[in-house]
A and B are shown apart, each in its own frame.
Chain A
């Protein structure tokens, strides 16, 4: 089977830095993505790591360690609008086709 585990909730202060972790167990792993979803909204793509290391996109960075089956999303200079749910997702190869499966999700609350 496969699993992607994240902390259920994280609270951080506006202007601070927060890290959201994701540990996974999958077969046919291609890469790790991160999505943001505001309450009542659609998930939106944030970043993707296919190789080990850090990818930076503005205030957001994402890290992957394939040997540890672990990744994280780092959010810097937190803003109130960053309050949302964050999902890691893996692209896996299944039965000749590829699919994207989501982690358990982390609800981030940014407080003043």
Chain B
């Protein structure tokens, strides 16, 4: 199984809503990531979890709250988002540090988020 599964595939939410994005992988990868991608732009790193601990937060606003309940799951909790937060949110995983496979990211198909 070389899949990263993200749900939901599409999400429309109002600025006062609370929602969560979910990501799951069963490849035994110990590093998991959230990226944000706007149309015609590269993915932008938001968060990195390494061995279930938050290792990198790229100065992301607190209305985005990541969570890693276990080594296979990654969540992104959303609250009080702004219309400019509308984007494709991509989850990825990789083997983890000290591995030649560290740099190979496996991406999920993403959640297309629209904030109204």
Taking CB atoms, residues of chain A closer than 8 Å to B66 are none
Taking CB atoms, residues of chain B closer than 8 Å to A87 are 42-43
Cβ of B64 under 8 Å from chain A: no
A22 to B101, CA, bound (A): 22
Count residues of chain A with CB under 8 A from any CB of chain B: 26
A99 near B43: Cβ-Cβ < 8 Å: no
> In chain B between 79 and 95, which residues have their CB closer than 8 angstroms to a CB of chain A?
90, 94
B104 near A45: Cβ-Cβ < 8 Å: yes
State how many angstroms separate the Cβ of A6 from the closest Cβ of chain B. Answer: 9
A103 near B42: Cβ-Cβ < 8 Å: yes
> In chain A between 83 and 108, which residues have their CB closer than 8 angstroms to a CB of chain B?
87, 89, 91, 94-105, 107
Task: Return the contact of B104 from the options A48, A98, A99, A103 (Cβ within 8 A).
Answer: A48
State how many angstroms separate the Cβ of B100 from the closest Cβ of chain A. Answer: 8
A44 to B25, CA, bound (A): 15
A59 to B50, CA, bound (A): 34
A97 to B45, CA, bound (A): 13
Taking CB atoms, residues of chain B closer than 8 Å to A45 are 104-106
Count residues of chain B with CB under 8 A from any CB of chain A: 23
Task: Return the contact of A105 from the options B41, B103, B104 (Cβ within 8 A).
Answer: B41
Taking CB atoms, residues of chain A closer than 8 Å to B15 are none
A107 to B48, CA, bound (A): 27
Task: Return the contact of B108 from the options A30, A42, A89, A91 (Cβ within 8 A).
Answer: A42
Taking CB atoms, residues of chain B closer than 8 Å to A104 are 42
Task: Return the contact of B103 from the options A43, A91, A96, A102 (Cβ within 8 A).
Answer: A91
Task: Return the contact of B105 from the options A41, A43, A103 (Cβ within 8 A).
Answer: A43
Taking CB atoms, residues of chain A closer than 8 Å to B33 are 100
Given contacts A41-B109, A94-B56, A97-B50, contact A33 B103 (CB under 8 A): yes
A36 to B48, CA, bound (A): 21
Taking CB atoms, residues of chain A closer than 8 Å to B94 are 100
Residues in B lying within 8 Å of A, measured CB to CB: 33, 40-45, 48, 50, 55-56, 90, 94, 97, 102-110
